[in-house]
Amino acid sequence: MAEIFILTINGVERQVDGDGEMPLLYALRDQLGLSGTKYGCGTEQCGSCSVLIDGERAFSCQTTLDQAKGRDIVTIEGIGESDRLHPLQQAFIDEHAFQCGYCTPGLIVTAKGLLDRDPDPEEAAIRTALQDNLCRCGSHPRVIRAVQRAAKEMAK
């Protein structure tokens, strides 16, 4: 049965309609026009749908509206601004850490969650944090460098 959900997304309360079991991803993309969060596998295997919920990475393809209500949700659109990129976004550009770009929003969101918890992570911690984000283009070495670069920039 459809109901109205008030969700806090990127610091703004937004209203969505749906069944409590509807995946958050569908509300983000279809109702709110936040298309940066991608549908990849639908089974928590690729990380393309990654968002931050209360500061922790979550797979929006499997997070229901019931699970999301009352929590703080951050999507790629909530990180940086078009005229002032977040250091992670700039580092991804500087390190050429993407090719097709499909996985990039999920990687950046996941990396932001890591850097918010650990501003100076070891390479192993970066690899562990990003292990559930797949990139079919093979840009993972550049992604690691981008996260390291952003951490240094954010420490300034």
Q: What pLDDT, on the 0 to 100 scale, is given for residue 138?
A: 87
Q: Determine the Cα–Cα distance for residues 102 and 18; give it in Å rounded to an integer.
A: 26
Catalogue the long-range contacts made by 135-143 (C-beta closer than 8 Å, 24 or more residues apart).
Answer: 135/98, 135/103, 135/107, 136/100, 136/102, 136/103, 137/98, 137/99, 137/100, 137/103, 139/96, 139/97, 139/98, 139/99, 142/95, 142/96, 142/97, 142/98, 143/92, 143/95, 143/97, 143/98, 143/107, 143/111
Q: Taking the CB of residue 155, how many other CB atoms lie within 10 A of it?
A: 10
Domains, the chain, ordered by start: 3-78 (3.10.20.30), 87-155 (1.10.150.120)
Listed as ranges, residues in the chain with pLDDT below 50 are none
pLDDT digits (tens, 9 = 90+) for 39-73: 999 999 999 999 999 999 999 999 999 999 999 99
Q: What pLDDT, on the 0 to 100 scale, is given for residue 86?
A: 98
Q: What pLDDT, on the 0 to 100 scale, is given for residue 34?
A: 98
Q: What pLDDT, on the 0 to 100 scale, is given for residue 2?
A: 86
Q: What pLDDT, on the 0 to 100 scale, is given for residue 1?
A: 74
